[in-house]
Structure 1
Amino acid sequence: MYKLLFNLVFRKMDPEKAHHLAFFWIRLAASVPGLRQLVALVLAPRDKALRTTALGLDLPGPFGLGAGFDKNAVGIDGLAMLGFDYVEIGTVTGEPQPGNPTPRLFRLVDDRALINRMGFNNQGSTRIAARLAQRQRGSLSPVVGVNIGKTKVVEEADAVADYVKSTERLAKYADYLVVNVSSPNTPGLRNLQAVSHLGPLLSAVRQAADRSTPHHVPLLVKIAPDLADEDVDAVADLALELGLDGIIATNTTIGREGLREPAARIEEIGMGGLSGAPLKERSLEVLRRLRKRTDGRLTLVSVGGIETAEDAWQRIIAGADLVQGYSAFIYEGPFWMRRVHKGLSLRLRRAGFKSLAEAVGSAA
Structure 2
Amino acid sequence: MAPKYIKKGLTWRRAIAAATISSLLGTMVYASTRDEATLSSWLFEGADFFSPFFRLLDPETAHRLAVLSASWGLLPREKRPDPPELAITVWGRRFTNPIGLAAGFDKDAEAVENLILVGFGHVEVGSVTPLPQPGNPKPRVFRIPEEQAVINRYGFNSEGIVAVAQRLGARHGRQKLQGSGGDPKELEGTHFDSKTQKGVLGVNLGKNKDSPDAGADYVQGVHTLSQYADYLVINISSPNTPGLRKLQGRKQLQELIRRVLAARDEMQWGEDGPPPLLVKIAPDLARADLEDIAAVALAVHLDGLIISNTTISRPESIQGHANGNETGGLSGPPLLEMSTDVQAQMYKLTKGKVPLVGCGGVSSGRDAYKKIRAGASLVQLYTALVYKGPKLLPDMKKELVECLKADGFKSIEEAVGADFR
TM-score by length of 1: 0.92
8 Å Cα contact 1:222/1:249 also seen in 2: yes
Q: Which runs of 5+ in 2 are unaligned?
A: 1-45, 179-195
- In the alignment, is residue 21 of structure 1 matched against residue 27 of structure 2? no
- In the alignment, is residue 300 of structure 1 matched against residue 338 of structure 2? no
Cα distance per residue 1:232-259 (max 9 Å; x no partner): 1210110010010011000001111213
After superposition, the Cα gap between the structure-2 partners of 1:341 and 1:107, relative to the gap in structure 1 and judged at 3 Å, is same
- In the alignment, is residue 152 of structure 1 matched against residue 209 of structure 2? yes
2:63 counterpart letter in structure 1: H
Partner in structure 2 of residue 46 of structure 1: 82
CA distance in structure 1 between the partners assigned to 2:224 and 2:83 by the alignment: 36
Shift of 1:6: 4.4
Correspondences of 1:117-196 after superposition (within 5 Å): 117-135=153-171, 136-137=174-175, 141-155=198-212, 158-196=213-251
Query: What SS does the corresponding residue of 2:89 show, helix, strand or coil?
Result: strand
CA distance in structure 1 between the partners assigned to 2:254 and 2:383 by the alignment: 30
Give the one of 308, 320, 325 matched to 1:250: 308
After superposition, the Cα gap between the structure-2 partners of 1:213 and 1:122, relative to the gap in structure 1 and judged at 3 Å, is farther
Correspondences of 1:184-333 after superposition (within 5 Å): 184-214=239-269, 215-260=273-318, 262=320, 265-267=323-325, 270-333=326-389
Q: Identity, % of aligned pairs?
A: 44
CA distance in structure 2 between the partners assigned to 1:11 and 1:133 by the alignment: 33
Cα distance per residue 1:52-81 (max 9 Å; x no partner): 001221110111000000001110111112
Shift of 1:264: 5.7
1:287 counterpart letter in structure 2: Q
8 Å Cα contact 1:53/1:59 also seen in 2: yes
Judge which range, 347-356 or 176-185, deviates more.
347-356
Shift of 1:262: 2.3
Shift of 1:271: 1.5
TM-score by length of 2: 0.80
Q: May I ask how many residue pairs the two structures share in their alignment?
A: 351
Partner in structure 1 of residue 54 of structure 2: 10
Shift of 1:101: 1.1
8 Å Cα contact 2:153/2:328 also seen in 1: yes
After superposition, the Cα gap between the structure-2 partners of 1:2 and 1:107, relative to the gap in structure 1 and judged at 3 Å, is farther
2:226 counterpart letter in structure 1: A
Compute the RMSD of aligned alpha carbons. 1.7
After superposition, the Cα gap between the structure-2 partners of 1:152 and 1:315, relative to the gap in structure 1 and judged at 3 Å, is same
Shift of 1:4: 5.6
Shift of 1:263: 5.3
CA distance in structure 2 between the partners assigned to 1:211 and 1:235 by the alignment: 25
8 Å Cα contact 1:52/1:59 also seen in 2: yes
After superposition, the Cα gap between the structure-2 partners of 1:259 and 1:2, relative to the gap in structure 1 and judged at 3 Å, is farther
CA distance in structure 2 between the partners assigned to 1:40 and 1:168 by the alignment: 34
CA distance in structure 2 between the partners assigned to 1:223 and 1:213 by the alignment: 29
Cα distance per residue 1:145-191 (max 9 Å; x no partner): 00001111102xx1111111111111111100000000011111111
Query: What SS does the corresponding residue of 1:302 show, helix, strand or coil?
Result: strand
Shift of 1:140: 5.8
8 Å Cα contact 1:172/1:213 also seen in 2: no
Partner in structure 2 of residue 83 of structure 1: 119
